């Protein structure tokens, strides 16, 4: 069966990575968490004094450090998914904390950072059989992806999902703090100058506010099966 590229875009806490991981496992595809790549850069910036106490970024210092930042994914046999590594160090847990979440949109809006990460993403995904999730996969990274999804969900549903995610990692915040963080992230993603978050014209909208993980997985698998059926029909006609 011919492998394809699957691009999943959408807002924070809409289950993009959950769906992408489930699809990758089911299809035996490679999964690339592009958001984790920007989070890893953010961790580097926090550790190296590139982000100041008032959350301002020394952009020149960050740009000059880009050659010293290596982001890779290493398969974890215990979880059966890939962990994010920053310069050969596993930072999977650190990249998910609130401090990183509060600043990553500003890091990802920097043109030179995006150029480096997009080049890496295209290199990782050039051989097909890959699923990427992020903010600009279908519009910028892989505009010719065979399947594009744009995920969304009710704001309260999103906030409760993120709150539960933090709790599971021993991080405790109020629901209002999480809602404000998500709102700020949305605004920064939508309004940034470099490749803002937007739905590709040919993307299929998937609102998972009221459906289970199993239902959304089956929905997307049906889309893939339909695509592959159409492809076989077209090939048989030539």
| Measured distance CA(160)–CA(130) in Å, rounded | 29
Burial of 40 (0-12, 13-18, 19+ CB in 10 A): buried
Q: How many domains does the chain divide into?
A: 1
83 in a structural domain: yes
Asked whether 101 and 171 are in contact (CB, 8 A), the reply is no
pLDDT mean over 129-150: 95
Tens digit of each residue's pLDDT (9 = 90 or more) over 3-20: 899 999 999 889 999 999
176 in a structural domain: yes
- pLDDT of 169: 81
238 in a structural domain: no
CA angle 150, 129, 152 (to 5 degrees): 10
Q: What is the pTM of this model?
A: 0.84
Q: What integer best gives the mean pLDDT of the chain? A: 92
90 in a structural domain: yes
- Which domain range does residue 95 map to? 5-229
| Measured distance CA(133)–CA(140) in Å, rounded | 12
- pLDDT of 238: 64
CATH code for the domain of 14: 3.40.50.300
DSSP, collapsed to helix, strand or coil, labels residue 196 as coil
139 in a structural domain: yes
112 in a structural domain: yes
* pLDDT of 220 strictly over 90: yes
DSSP, collapsed to helix, strand or coil, labels residue 35 as helix
234 in a structural domain: no
209 in a structural domain: yes
Percent of the chain with pLDDT over 90: 71
């Amino acid at each position: 069966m011919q492998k394809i590229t699957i691009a999943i875009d959408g807002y924070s806490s809409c289950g993009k990575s959950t769906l992408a991981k489930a699809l990758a496992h089911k299809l035996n595809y490679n999964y690339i968490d592009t958001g984790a790549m920007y989070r890893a850069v953010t961790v580097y910036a926090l550790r190296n004094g590139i982000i100041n106490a008032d959350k301002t970024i020394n952009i020149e210092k960050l740009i000059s450090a880009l050659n010293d930042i290596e982001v890779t994914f290493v398969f974890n046999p215990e979880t059966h998914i890939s962990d994010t590594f920053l310069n050969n160090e596993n930072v999977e847990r650190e990249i998910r904390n609130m401090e990183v979440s509060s600043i990553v949109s500003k890091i990802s809006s920097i043109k030179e950072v995006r150029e480096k990460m997009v080049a890496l993403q295209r290199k990782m995904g050039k051989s097909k059989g890959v699923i990427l999730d992020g903010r600009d996969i279908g519009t910028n990274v892989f505009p010719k992806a065979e399947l594009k999804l744009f995920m969304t969900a009710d704001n309260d549903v999103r906030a409760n999902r993120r709150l539960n995610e933090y709790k599971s990692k021993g991080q405790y915040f109020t629901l209002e703090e999480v809602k404000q963080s998500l709102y700020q992230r949305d605004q920064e993603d939508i309004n940034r100058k470099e490749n803002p978050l937007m739905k590709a014209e040919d993307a299929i909208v998937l609102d998972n506010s009221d459906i289970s993980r199993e239902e959304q997985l089956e929905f997307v698998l049906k889309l893939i099966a339909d695509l592959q059926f159409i492809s076989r029909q077209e090939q048989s006609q030539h």
